[in-house]
Chains A and B, each alone.
Chain A
Amino acid sequence: MAVTAPPATAGLGRAAATGVRSRRERRKRTNPLLVALFVLPSLAIYVLFMVYPFIGTIHLSFTNWDGFAPTKELIGLDNYRVMINDPEFWEALSHNLIWAVIGTAAPIIIGLPIAILLWSGSRFRLAFRTMYFLPVILPSVVIGIIWGWIYNPIFGVINAILEGVGLGDFATGWLGNADTALIGVLIAAIWATFGMVVVMFLAGLQGIDMNLVDAARVDGANAWQRTRHVLLPGIAPIFTFVFTITLVGAFSVFDIVYVLTQGGPGTATEVLAGYSYKMAFGRNYAGYGAAVSMVIAILSLVLAVLFLRLRERSRTNG
């Protein structure tokens, strides 16, 4: 059997002794050839297909390259200057910001109570978890197709429900209407992510020391107080994590928008990633598209660093 790790308690004295010895041994450098064998293949692929194109984006964002010209002419910060005065860029960014606020808050607001209820004891817990998680594993194309149907003005479920309850006047082509398209796409995205949030919070809750919960109960804390003062602090690191990945994700959302609306109608659901795609591959402004991409990259990196900081702080406090 593979899983036959020696029990931790066996021969503590010896384990400590070998621990010391292996630490001394480990200070000895590993044979460089061996290191190369283990590291270089990964590093080569990673550098060639991640690091190099990333540097390429930084470089392109300072050029006015059209994707074809043999040379790339440097134009300094011109792309960024144009961007500041580009209303379509600002509109796309504003949609990402809306996405960041609603797309982060809604899955947490829906997912956290579900996770706490499941954790606090529920029949069919596994069955519930499986059902919540199903949308999470779906390909974005499928999410798009399903929700395209749900919103369909002719045979869509939403309009059928509205007509069924006598609110037929509100029926509309949800994705074709500039007022409802963005929120429509967002709802599809929230549907596809809140199960992930449930599962993550559940994993975090399962790590909470039950003695703390029992102690709080003995001390007379009611369910709300126990949640507020024991559970929520216990899952604070998960909270930060969920917060960060959904926030970062909000600035690079693309697939579901592309499948559902392609940024339309007009620019009603245009997001930064889609705008970058359109500029670079639709209109051959590779340089400008790269500059828009850099905005996505910088926002993501800033948020990720902020997250690491927050986590460091919560660790030193805890």
Chain B
Amino acid sequence: MAEREMQVATVPSVRPVRTRRMLFSVGKYLFLAFWAAICVLPFVLVLSTALKDPDLSTGNPFQLFSSFRPDNFVDAWTLGNFGRYFVNTLVIMIPTVLGVVVLASMTGYALARFEFPGRTALFYLFILGLMVPFFALMIPLYYNLKDYGLLNTPLAVILPSIAGAGGTGLPLGVFLMRAFFLDLPNELADAARVDGCGEWDVFRRVMAPLAKPGASALAILTFLSAWNTFLLPLLYLQGENNRTLATGLLLFTGGRTRELELTAAATLIMLAPVVIFFMLFQKQFITGLTSGAVKG
């Protein structure tokens, strides 16, 4: 009797568990898909609007992809002067990324591997920059740049960005690269020294190549923030010919309440490089962005 009871008890209990699992699974994917849709749908909306005929663009937003007019991109590009803004943005982005990666690698290496008085204090000085918001520099920096004759030149954005005013820059770079060099084994550097390498060659030929994963994560983070930086060019790079994509796009959309298809096309012009870059280097993006959270 006891056996029969057990059988009766176990058989029906299997099915509720299975249905519960199923329900949980369905609920889980619905939940995940809901938030994924919230993230992605605005992109779809922009893409759909960017391809619409001018007289349809402010119509029903749910009529997705109701027309196909790639000329909008050409119109936005020429009307909005985006070729110029694109070049201006590159002129800022490239030196910023190179500057941050090279300088942060060298200083991070020195802080990790060299022995000199004031090393710890110097490290903390750089780390402090991670905690100082841009607004604590914004006003005097404007007048400093004016005094140096740099205002409204690309250097007015490049140098503060390297210094860390944009949020990444040297403070984050020195922090990441120092941590990276600390993790590398000593033996290789020592072996190179025994072979007669000078300290510069030890860094340049042995240690720096080993730090490539760290440096590429840093490069990608810096690229992202240099591409997206908004307030720095808004303040320090004024004048039509100096605009970057961020400030140029704002001006372009600001005056337009009707020609939505052009606004959408212009938005995609600014967006495309970042999204493509992200898709290609997703791993480095995420390593870079999470390194502060997991490391340190």
Whether B138 pairs with A141 at a CB distance below 8 angstroms is no
Instruction: Knowing A280-B138, A297-B132 are in contact, say whether A141-B246 is a contact too (CB < 8 A).
Output: yes
Closest partner residue, chain A, to B212 (CB atom): A2
Known: A132-B35, A146-B267, A204-B293. A34 touches B114 (CB 8 A): yes
A304→B131 contact, CB < 8 A: yes
Complex alpha-carbon distance, A46 and B267, angstroms: 33
Per DSSP, are chain A's interface residues mostly helix, strand or loop, or mixed? helix
Within 8 A of A (CB), among B234-283: 235, 245-247, 249-250, 253, 260, 263, 267, 270-271, 274-275, 278-279, 282
Q: Is A210 interfacial (CB 8 A cutoff)?
A: no
Q: Bound state CA distance, A304 and B57, in angstroms?
A: 46
Residues of A within 8 A of B186 (CB): 18-19, 22
Interface size on A (CB < 8 Å)? 106
B76 to chain A, nearest CB (A): 13
Stretch of A79-87, A167-175, A178-186, A252-260 on the interface side: A252-260
B32 touches A128 (CB 8 A): yes
CA distance A66 to B117 in the complex (A): 42
Asked if A224 is an interface residue, CB under 8 A from chain B, the answer is no
A165 contacts the other chain (Cβ, under 8 Å)?
Answer: no
Find chain B residues with CB under 8 A from A146 CB.
Answer: 42, 45-46, 267
Known: A39-B122, A45-B159. A114 touches B42 (CB 8 A): no
Q: Is the CB of B107 within 8 A of A39?
A: yes
CB neighbours (8 Å) of B99 from chain A are: 45
Binds B, one of A98-106, A147-155, A211-219, A226-234: A147-155
Q: Is A241 in contact with B200, judged by CB distance below 8 angstroms?
A: no
A92 at the interface (CB under 8 A from B): no
Q: Is A135 an interface residue (CB 8 A)?
A: yes
Distance in angstroms between the alpha carbons of A254 and B246 in the assembled complex: 14
Q: Cβ of A122 and Cβ of B32 under 8 Å apart?
A: yes
Quick one: closest A residue to B130, CB to CB? A304
List, in ascending order, chain A residues with CB within 8 A of B230's CB: 139-141, 255, 258-259
One of A42, A203, A242, A301 near B286 (C-beta < 8 A): A203
Q: Check B135 against A38 for contact (C-beta < 8 Å).
A: no
Interface residues of B (CB under 8 A from A): 28-29, 31-32, 35-36, 38-40, 42-43, 45-46, 58-62, 99, 103-104, 106-107, 109-110, 113-117, 122, 125-126, 129-144, 159-160, 162-165, 170-171, 174, 184-188, 190, 199-200, 203, 209-210, 212-213, 224, 227-228, 230-231, 235, 245-247, 249-250, 253, 260, 263, 267, 270-271, 274-275, 278-279, 282, 285-286, 289-290, 292-294
**Known pairs A53-B144, A132-B39, A252-B134 / 5 extra A-B pairs, C-beta < 8 Å:** A49-B165, A128-B32, A138-B274, A273-B135, A300-B136
Interface positions of A (Cβ within 8 A of B): 2-3, 5-6, 8, 15, 18-19, 21-22, 26-32, 34-35, 37-39, 41-43, 45-46, 48-54, 56-57, 59-60, 67, 110, 113-114, 117-118, 122, 128, 130-142, 144-147, 149-150, 154-157, 160, 191, 194-196, 199-200, 203-204, 207, 237-238, 241-242, 248, 251-252, 254-255, 258-259, 272-273, 276-277, 280-281, 286, 289-290, 293-294, 296-297, 300-301, 304
Closest 8 CB pairs of A and B: A56-B140, A49-B163, A297-B136, A38-B110, A139-B228, A252-B133, A53-B137, A30-B114
